[in-house]
């Protein structure tokens, strides 16, 4: 049977064949996920080349790709080792985007809203006593630091405890993927919180206002009120959005 003609105005398509490098990367990934555990060593470059039917140079490049993805650790004179899952790659992408364009903080806030509302909804249903204690400890640390933000050390402590508060709520959710994502956003959260604090002051508000919204979130989680916790977190995000808009707004030009 002859092939059907290509319709006018269209370009014939040809199936794509994986490159040798892509084949090597895929083959090593299978070993990482199906045969090995974190901390275990991969076979040597020579053994991998023989197993995969590629050159040692291709294996070396494939391992660099996997190291950039955070899947393997490379060391001079040592065999590649399977890494524990971590969020360093995710963290780097978000932090770089925000450093290049501070306005991206508002888009980042949309991401936070989706993740953190889900986190507190689940936390209200599943939080253990120890998880609630961790959230309370972080909130207490924020309050203690907020009592005097006149020194850089206290400001740093305030933001560190703020990040810990949000991470503790993710842990309280019982969802490992949410924890992974929030941990990956730690540096971006810190950047966001720093600018929010600036905007909070520009709006003529007190840091105590931020503490009030945080306390409301934890109170609803502690009361096992999933809907109330979600709404309290929405309020927290709304305040943060207003603060960021104030911080990112261009400074008014002086009158001539």
For residue range 140-158, list pLDDT tens digits in order: 999 999 999 999 999 999 9
- Quote the pLDDT of residue 68: 81
- Residue 208 in tokens: 């105590």
CA distances from 133 to 22, 67, 124, 165, 184 (A): 47, 37, 14, 11, 23
- 243 pLDDT higher than 50: yes
- Quote the pLDDT of residue 253: 61
- Quote the pLDDT of residue 17: 62
Of the chain, the end-to-end C-alpha distance in Å amounts to 82
> 């971590």: which residue's tokens?
86
Percent of the chain with pLDDT over 90: 67
- 10 pLDDT higher than 50: no
- Quote the pLDDT of residue 195: 94
Mean pLDDT of 88-108: 84
- 15 pLDDT higher than 50: no
- Quote the pLDDT of residue 252: 61
Residue 61 to residue 58: CA distance in whole angstroms: 5
CA-based nearest residue to 135, from 154, 149, 116, 153: 116
Residue 253 to residue 156: CA distance in whole angstroms: 31
- Quote the pLDDT of residue 256: 58
Mean pLDDT of 195-220: 95
Q: Which helix (H) or strand (E) holds 143?
A: helix 129-146
- Quote the pLDDT of residue 3: 44
pLDDT band at 105 (very low <50, low <70, confident <90, very high): very high
- 251 pLDDT higher than 70: no
Residue 122 to residue 225: CA distance in whole angstroms: 10
For residue range 44-76, what is the model confidence (pLDDT) as tens digits? 999 999 999 999 999 999 999 988 888 899 988
203 and 246 in contact (C-beta within 8 Å)? yes
By mean pLDDT, which of 12-26, 186-200, 224-238 is the weakest? 12-26
DSSP state of 11: -
Q: What is the mean pLDDT of the chain?
A: 88
């Amino acid at each position: 049977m002859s092939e059907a003609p290509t319709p006018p105005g269209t370009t014939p398509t040809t199936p794509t064949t994986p490159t040798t490098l892509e084949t090597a990367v895929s083959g090593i990934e299978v070993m990482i996920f199906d045969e090995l555990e974190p901390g275990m060593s991969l076979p040597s470059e020579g053994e991998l080349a023989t197993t995969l039917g590629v050159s040692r140079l291709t294996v070396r490049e494939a391992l660099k790709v996997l190291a950039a993805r955070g899947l393997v650790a490379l060391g001079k004179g040592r065999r590649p080792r399977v890494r524990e899952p971590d969020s360093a790659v995710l963290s780097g992408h978000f932090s770089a985007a925000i450093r290049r364009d501070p306005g991206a903080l508002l888009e980042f806030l949309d991401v936070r809203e989706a993740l953190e509302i889900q986190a507190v909804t689940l936390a209200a249903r599943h939080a253990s006593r120890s998880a609630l204690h961790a959230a309370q400890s972080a909130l207490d640390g924020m309050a203690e630091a907020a009592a005097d933000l006149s020194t850089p050390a206290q400001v740093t402590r305030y933001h560190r405890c703020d990040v810990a508060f949000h991470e503790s709520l993710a842990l309280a959710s019982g969802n490992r993927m949410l924890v992974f994502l929030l941990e990956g956003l730690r540096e971006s959260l810190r950047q966001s919180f720093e600018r929010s604090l600036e905007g909070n002051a520009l709006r003529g508000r007190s840091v105590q206002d931020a503490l009030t919204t945080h306390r409301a979130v934890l109170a609803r989680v502690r009361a096992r009120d999933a809907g109330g916790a979600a709404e309290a977190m929405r309020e927290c995000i709304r305040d943060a959005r207003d603060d960021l808009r104030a911080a990112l707004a261009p400074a008014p030009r002086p009158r001539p």
